[in-house]
Amino acid sequence: MRLFYCGDVVGRAGRDAVIDNMQKIRSEYKIDVMLVNVENAAHGFGATPSICREFLAKGADVLVLGNHFLNRRDIIPFLDECKTIVRPANIPAINPGKGFIIYELADGRKILVIQVLGRLFMEAVDCPVQAIDKILQQHALGNQVQAVFVDIHAEATSEKLALGYYLDGRVSCVAGTHTHVPTADARVLPAGTAYITDVGMCGDYNSVLGFDIKTPINRLCRRYIDDRLTPANGQGTVFGIFVETDDKTGLAKDIKQVKI
């Protein structure tokens, strides 16, 4: 199976960059499953139903969220309606949406997509390890599904790395998101799981994590935090990963970091 994952989409610059390049990516890498993190797609915080529908119409197969998944109130009913969007799994089950989905390709192959939040330097959530273990007990790699993709949306690089090694050999890929800065450690771990600490963002990199530099500088210099962060609207860049897996084992054959 050939997968592509676009990192956190930030604002219009990120949306335009991904949408403008989605079909090119699908064609060039012969993609079976296109995944997009829409966590910051709506003016930098959360996503709206209309934005999600546009990504799906333009070529995305599965949408992934993060800690801002409820920032836009109109997304709440959409999380239950849409069958191809994933919110964090390690939050109370009373929340709308699902923490994992199984996406079936036209040829019958299936991929399990899971998302969890980290716990270091973030708001309190349930244990990500226990949440993933519970899901994998019912959907084993190479048995019910041909691939398992895990997004860990977290601040701490150590937490992401620890989860990668914990899941090595049990899932196809562990990809970190949330910090918006691409890391240079894309690799296949010893037992066969593709891994990267942070995919990076899709947005204007002439910015501070995708946002106009004025407010972050004010916060840095004056501790002035009343201004709202505004997405930077220059030319967008796509950062993503391409992962190829073995359909027999579900393990990764290759992972490549992609910048467009």
Q: What is d(CA 112, CA 101) in angstroms, rounded to the nearest whole number? A: 6
Which of 68, 153, 178, 180 is flagged as catalytic?
68
Q: What is d(CA 133, CA 120) in angstroms, rounded to the nearest whole number? A: 19
Catalytic site includes residue 43 = no
Q: What is d(CA 200, CA 177) in angstroms, rounded to the nearest whole number? A: 7
User: What is the percent of the chain with per-residue pLDDT over 70, rounded to a whole number?
Assistant: 99
**Top-confidence residue, 28 or 143:** 28
Q: Given this model, what pLDDT does residue 205 score? A: 97
Q: Given this model, what pLDDT does residue 65 score? A: 97
Q: What does the pLDDT average to over 88-100? A: 95
**Per-residue pLDDT at 237 exceeds 80:** yes
Count of domains for the chain: 1
**Per-residue pLDDT at 157 exceeds 90:** yes
Domain harbouring 108, CATH code: 3.60.21.10
Inter-residue contact 202 to 240 (CB < 8 Å)? yes
Q: What is d(CA 223, CA 92) in angstroms, rounded to the nearest whole number? A: 33
Q: Amino acid letter at 24?
A: K
Residue 23 CA from chain centroid, whole number: 19
DSSP H/E element including 102? strand 100-104
Domain limits for position 103: 2-259
What is the pLDDT of the chain when averaged over all its residues? Answer: 96
Where residue 228 falls among pLDDT bands split at 50, 70, 90? confident
